């Protein structure tokens, strides 16, 4: 892990962002993603099938998950696993329902003969991308599908890379069934995103794509955003832990390792006001890895060697400034006065407050959503929520009298902008006044 003293929060955060974005900014990777998207646009199902064979090593007769496969999946999961999925669903459902209740109210404004109305309606369809690769993510099914279901989206589609035997992880299928997915397709990466966005003979295009993913899926979301709405850049994952001299160093180390195991592109780090804490956390991480009793050791080690860091700030304000400049996906605050410090955070996808709120728990059962903005986008948005599955509808209605009272202003502005025909359309309606 890299260590440094924070001299300038903005420049140090920028350096980390540049390192983390290297894989995303590779011309070769970007061009490959573009090639796949373009090919799916031209050849549809055939292109999806070809890339699934080339990239995933799987030959499929059909990408569609059948009802029989879902029923078989139930026989390969335990009752405790099903209970866990339902607990996650219910916790998240409660959070999202509370938010929805505040949104489903028409806002009507009547003034001087003009009536405006604003209200929300659900999207007609959504595609939920569920990552695969080096891990399986039934939890992501819950995070994507539950808010869509609460919003009353009519058609919910899921897509995920198949396993080597051509199947989908059983618990992922069970989670999809429990949460209410209408269609499930065996396809991942850029080809899966492109098929959801553009449609094929088998797959009807969706109105919006949500969900996290690796480099190719993320780049594909950026590329297809010209054709379909997307939620955000959500991946690879990020964690910043803020700790002071009182924080338990082993917990900090374990939290960093827990996020680093997601993949090689993950970035995880510590910002602290204590040089002693910085040294202890670095030592704890090395000791935990050296003992060789952690899972996914190769991924953790490579992730931390390439993207891990420990930053020492001169004081609390400098540490918070660094966190806000970095705008991490997850920000843990493990220090005294954690709640008051959290109120000074302006840019984080999710802020986790206190010793008993690890990011690993928020990934599952705390009622928060783990689909979060990465690559610094936490400066402008937060987690996936029911809001992402709604659109604000606007109507305006004007009387003849109301239009006549503002026509002079319309004339002035349209003249200034050189759009005189705009005013002629108004003028014609007011003849005789």
Q: Is 412 a catalytic residue?
A: no
For residues 205 and 126, give the distance between their C-alpha atoms in angstroms, rounded to a whole number.
9
Lookup result for tokens 């069934």: 177
Within 10 angstroms of residue 166's Cβ, the number of other Cβ atoms is: 15
HSE-up of 110 (CA within 13 Å, CB side)?
A: 3
* Cβ 247 vs Cβ 276: under 8 Å: no
For residues 407 and 275, give the distance between their C-alpha atoms in angstroms, rounded to a whole number.
67
Polymer length in residues for the chain: 433
Which among 319, 329, 327 has a CA at the least distance from the CA of 278? Answer: 319
Which residues in 281-415 belong to E strands, given as ranges?
A: 309-312, 330-334, 350-353, 390-398
For residues 81 and 89, give the distance between their C-alpha atoms in angstroms, rounded to a whole number.
12
Maximum Cα–Cα distance across the chain: 90
* Cβ 258 vs Cβ 295: under 8 Å: no
- Catalytic residue among 183, 262, 330, 370, which? 330
CA distances from 240 to 255, 265, 344 (A): 10, 15, 15
- Catalytic residue among 238, 265, 329, 332, which? 329
Within 10 angstroms of residue 54's Cβ, the number of other Cβ atoms is: 11
For residues 205 and 146, give the distance between their C-alpha atoms in angstroms, rounded to a whole number.
20
- Kindly write down the DSSP assignment for every residue of 326-347, as one continuous string: H--SEEEEESTTHHHHHTT--S
HSE-up of 126 (CA within 13 Å, CB side)?
A: 30
For residues 15 and 7, give the distance between their C-alpha atoms in angstroms, rounded to a whole number.
12
CA distances from 428 to 30, 126, 417 (A): 53, 43, 20
For residues 349 and 277, give the distance between their C-alpha atoms in angstroms, rounded to a whole number.
25
For residues 185 and 195, give the distance between their C-alpha atoms in angstroms, rounded to a whole number.
10
* Cβ 200 vs Cβ 48: under 8 Å: yes
* Cβ 160 vs Cβ 195: under 8 Å: no
Q: Is 329 a catalytic residue?
A: yes
Is the alpha carbon torsion for 48, 52, 53, 58 positive or negative? negative
Catalytic residues: 329-330
């Amino acid at each position: 892990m890299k260590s440094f003293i924070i001299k300038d929060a903005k420049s140090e955060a920028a350096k980390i962002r540049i390192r983390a974005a290297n894989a995303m900014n590779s011309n070769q990777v970007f061009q490959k993603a573009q090639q796949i998207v373009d090919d799916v646009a031209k050849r549809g199902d055939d292109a999806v099938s070809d890339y699934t064979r080339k990239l995933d090593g799987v030959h499929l007769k059909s990408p569609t998950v059948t009802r029989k496969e879902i029923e078989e999946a139930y026989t390969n999961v335990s009752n405790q696993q099903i209970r866990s999925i339902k607990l996650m669903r219910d916790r998240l459902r409660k959070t999202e329902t509370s938010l929805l209740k505040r949104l489903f109210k028409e806002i009507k404004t009547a003034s001087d003969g003009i009536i405006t109305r604003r209200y929300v309606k659900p999207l007609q369809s959504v595609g939920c991308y569920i990552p695969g690769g080096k891990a399986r993510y039934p939890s992501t099914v819950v995070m994507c599908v539950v808010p869509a279901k609460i919003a009353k989206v009519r058609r919910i589609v899921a897509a995920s890379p198949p396993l080597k035997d051509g199947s989908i992880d059983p618990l992922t299928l069970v989670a999809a069934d429990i949460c209410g997915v209408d269609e499930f397709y065996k396809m991942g990466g850029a080809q899966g995103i492109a098929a959801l966005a553009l449609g094929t003979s088998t797959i009807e295009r969706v109105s919006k794509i949500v969900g996290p993913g690796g480099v190719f899926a993320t780049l594909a979301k950026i590329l297809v955003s010209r054709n379909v709405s997307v939620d955000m850049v959500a991946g690879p994952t990020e964690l910043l832990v803020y700790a002071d001299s009182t924080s338990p160093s082993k917990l900090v180390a374990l939290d960093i390792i827990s996020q680093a195991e997601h993949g090689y592109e993950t970035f995880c780090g510590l910002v602290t006001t204590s040089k002693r804490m910085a040294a202890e956390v670095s030592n704890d991480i090395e000791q935990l890895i050296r003992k060789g009793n952690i899972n996914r050791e190769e991924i953790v080690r490579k992730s931390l060697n390439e993207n891990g860091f420990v930053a020492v700030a001169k004081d609390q304000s400098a540490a918070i400034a660094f966190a806000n400049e970095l705008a991490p996906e997850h920000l843990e605050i493990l220090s005294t006065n954690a709640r008051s410090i959290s109120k000074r955070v302006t840019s984080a996808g999710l802020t986790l407050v206190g010793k008993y709120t690890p990011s690993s728990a928020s990934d599952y059962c705390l009622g928060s959503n783990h689909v979060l903005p990465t690559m610094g986008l936490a400066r402008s948005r937060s987690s996936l929520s029911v809001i992402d599955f709604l659109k604000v509808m606007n109507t305006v209605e004007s009387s003849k009298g109301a239009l006549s009272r503002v026509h002079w202003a319309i004339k002035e502005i349209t003249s200034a902008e050189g759009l005189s025909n705009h005013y002629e359309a108004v003028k014609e309606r007011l003849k005789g006044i």
